[in-house]
Structure 1
Amino acid sequence: MMTDSELPIFTFGDAMAILRRRTRLAVFTFIAVLVPSVLVTFLMPPLYQADARLWVDRYSPAADYTADSPRGNSQVTTFRNLDREEEISTQAEMLRSRVIMEAVVDRLALTQDNLDHIRDARRHVRELIYGVIDGARFLYNELKYLLHLSRRPSAEEEAYLARVSLVDDAIERIRVSPASDSNLLTVSFRSSDPQLARDVVNALVDEFMRFSGDMKQSRALNFFSDVSRKLALDLAEAESALLALRSSTRSYAPEQQRGMLLSQLSEASERARSFEVAKAELRGRISALQARLADEPAKIVVREQTRRDPTVDALRAKLAELTHRRATVGRSGDSGSIPARQLDTEIAALRSALARPTPNLSDTTVTELNPVHQQLREQLMRSEVELAALESQAETAARMLADYQLELAASAEGDVKIKEAERRVRHLEESYDLHLRNREQAQLREERSLASLSEVRIIDYAPYPLEAVRPRTLLYLGIALAAALLLALGVPFLTHFNDTTIRDARDIRRQLGVSFVATFPARGAEGRT
């Protein structure tokens, strides 16, 4: 066998000889790798991406830069900047919600064929691939139904599953990426049809804006809904009573009308007094809540890591030791001795040192919004709204009382019962309108108090994508060409090193491990050697 020192040296000429000897194999390898790669690159279905941009910002009051502006504006700005990333992530997840995507599907009448539509001849390649996949899936499902491993779905179930699959496929094509260090969101949609990609992403941002607006509007409509329904029912009952009274009020005598008017006047006076009492109670409650709100901090410390001053602990230990020694001296009966007086002096000095404030050394402090402060704030706003409602009711009662007094002075001029009903209807309408105005004001105050309320605006609609994001033709062709060249150069050498055919003396030594002696020409046809 040959040793390492006896191994032949592989030169550049040897490499060129190997390539010349296997030129046909190298050419075939190059063509076999490059041609399928080129076909796959040019037949690959295109993928277009349309991008739209949204701006997400929080509501914040206008900045006040005057000399009398409160110092709390910095706290408002700090609170506004909290959880910005979480809020932007929430908006991004809402853009991928099924509710919004189903609205987009209904608006554009999307189907699976629309999502997979290709505008050139490459659609036949996709149809062929999908045909093979659908055929395999059909055979698999039929085999399950034949073996009773699964139940064949009904037409309604198939339609529902197709709808779910369509919405899921559309959601998977959505990409929402926040821009770094900004409040901008880039919303993207990918499809083989560039026009469909543009239409879907634009419809998506439109439906998202409409969905956000509907959420705010529904919250505003539900605000004070119980009181609104009660006032509407009272108004309807008063109108019905007015219609009934107009048909029966002529049967009352003037004395009876006057008696009813006096009774109603008394009830109105009592109602006005009750409203004044209730208003006084509410004002007292509001004053108390304002006082508590002023005393309650807006933020509280939820965690504080502190470390104590070691000198304080040393002084306390020294004080305990001296106190023990003083007690021992006192028990021995030497309270007035010099050592006892010295101990008293040292004890007094230590107590004076400990009495001085020694602040702790704080490392970190974590704060959060005070739930008690937030609850008091909500109670204060609710009380103010109730006070506004009581004031409107008291104003209505005062008007009714004035009208009763006028009607009492001129009771003989008209039908008191009908006028009272008309007056009640009119006052209920005024109360209802006043309640609506108060509700709008309260809603506005609530909206301003919610620091996490975000405002979303469309910055750019998606333009028509001119270039496909996939396939990258030049990149794929470059990779295919490089791979074909590497394989075309490597396969001949791989074949050479695995070939056991003996052609020269070097092959004899490499394959058989024996020394070369001589070569003899083969016997020809004439018998020569």
Structure 2
Amino acid sequence: MLSQHLENRRQSQSADQPDGTPAQQSHGVLFSSGVSAFTPRDLLILAFYHKRIILVVALLAIIAGLTAATYARTRYAAESLVMMMIDRAHAGISDVAGTLPSILSIDGLKSVDSEIRILESRRVIEDTLSALGPVTLFPEIARPRLFGLLPADSPQDQLEKAIDKFKRRLQVEQQSSSNIVRLSFSHEDPDLAADTVNALADAYLKRRRAIFDVPRSPFLASELARHSDQLKSIEGQIQALKSEYDIVDLGQESLLAANQVDSIVQRRRQTQERQAALQAEVTAAKKRLAALPERVFDFREQSNQTQNDDDRNVLLRLELERDRMASQFLPDYPPLQELERKIRTVRQSMKGGDKPVYNTTREVRNPSIPFLNNHLLTLEIEQDAVARQLDELNRQHTVAVEKVGRLRKAESELRDLERTRSVMEDIYRDYAQRTEAARAEEEAAKVRFSNVRVVQPAVAPATGTSMAPSFIIAGLVGGILLGGAAGVLATWLRQVYILPHEIERDLGVPAIASFSDTDGELVSPGAQQELIHLAAQLRDHGLDDQPMALIQFVTANDGDGDAIVARGLALEFAKGRGLRTLVIDLCGDGTGQLAAINAGADGEAAGEADSGAGERVTDHRAAKRRRPRSAALRRAVALGVAAGDGIGAGQPAHPHRPVAPDAGAAESTL
């Protein structure tokens, strides 16, 4: 197969030209590089090439889908709604007494999920099947196996198969953001589907009641009584211990004892300090008392004033009188002048230096001696009192330390007893709450079954669902997909070339022409354009600037269309380009080539005659040129027949050697 860049290049170069006119445009380079793109036309070519495989696989898938749709049975899904009350205010929850806060949402979701697990449990399904009968729900499990060759399954195997089928048909879903659970079961019989859902709900309620209906109050009451006795015994031990150690409040007693010891220690230290100070004071007082004299100097006085000397007083009185009279009379008042003379006389008398001087010295008994004697006596008395006080403080300290030791021992024993009492009180309180809650739950269980309510019982559904449309659609889609996959697989496993670009990709050489109607005589417009293009490529490119003179067509298999292409190319060289052309058939006697050329020449002549009758201008010279060339082709073929033994048999090892071409002629060897 030879092509010039496939159909896209061929369509771009095939302009509307008159019949018989050779192509005048450039057809590109003979040995062009590159591989053409993969087009939708190539997909169609591959699909038509493998159409049998694709159709067979697609039909098998479609038939399988139709068969499954034929045997598909309509199933009716019965539904029931069950509400899970997860608040602790409802019965069945462990805090029916209401002493604990409400359950959080996440705990509620967990509770609902736990209920769903119980509902889907094997025991509940077995109880449901036991109530309805496994064979009633699934009659096929009781039939003989392997088309009647093997007996039916045992009852246990039938039950196991029924459980598996039941689980596949059962759907338990929790509604979004709700505590409602939807039960759904599909079956071919709508009434049986509804009965199954109701039986499942009843079996679930019975199973749940059996799980949660556990009488716990007697056991809790006995445990409560036992812990109460233990608590009373511990209380008695604590009271006996407090009475033994004379304790009212251990904490206060310990604090007071510690404070008492600390106070006694501080007072003893202060007393010891005072005792040492008194000892030092007594010693110092005795030393001072021994060193004191009996009599001591009192005072010494020296004066020249007699005892009856009253000058100063007289002077003072006179001056006062003068001042009084001066304020009332004039200075020349005689009494006032008299007072002035008296004052001068007294002053003159006081200035006299004839008075004697007297000296007086006095000694008294030492006053420190009685004070020191009294103080020493006081210190000695206080020293005796401090000694007695220190002895008493030592005794009190000993008693306080002993009391602290006793309290410490009592505290250790009392702490153990109180710890045991605290634990026993917690246990007793917990058992008391649980006992009351269990009693309340048991009382509530007598009124209500549980915290699960069937909101909507199942009823027989009026409409069902069938898988037939789904099987049909699946068959169609599967047929398309499997057909495409089969085509891809066949293309991948194909060992022949059907597209030019496959040859270019695998062999690495360009294709310059492609013919799709090699069974005919290449009379289609596309084939004619390819012949014109191929002839132009072969004539325009040669060796050493010389056009090709010898062309040999070699194919892998006989009947690949090589003879038709060679004959069409020879006709194009002879008629279209006016070249003398020799066709040599190396694979036969040339009879077939001659007959085909004669038939083609006669047909063309008839066509030219028909078309010439309607033409106003006829080129007789062109017709004359065509007839000799056609005749020459017929003679060349006949010559090939006559010389077939010499040329075809004598030179098989040199197929490319030219056979004496004329100037301007191209030889084609087939």
With normalisation by structure 2, the TM-score equals: 0.35
Q: Which has the higher contact order (CA 8 A, sep 6+)?
A: 1
Mark the structure with the bigger radius of gyration: 2
Select the structure that is richer in helix.
1
With normalisation by structure 1, the TM-score equals: 0.42
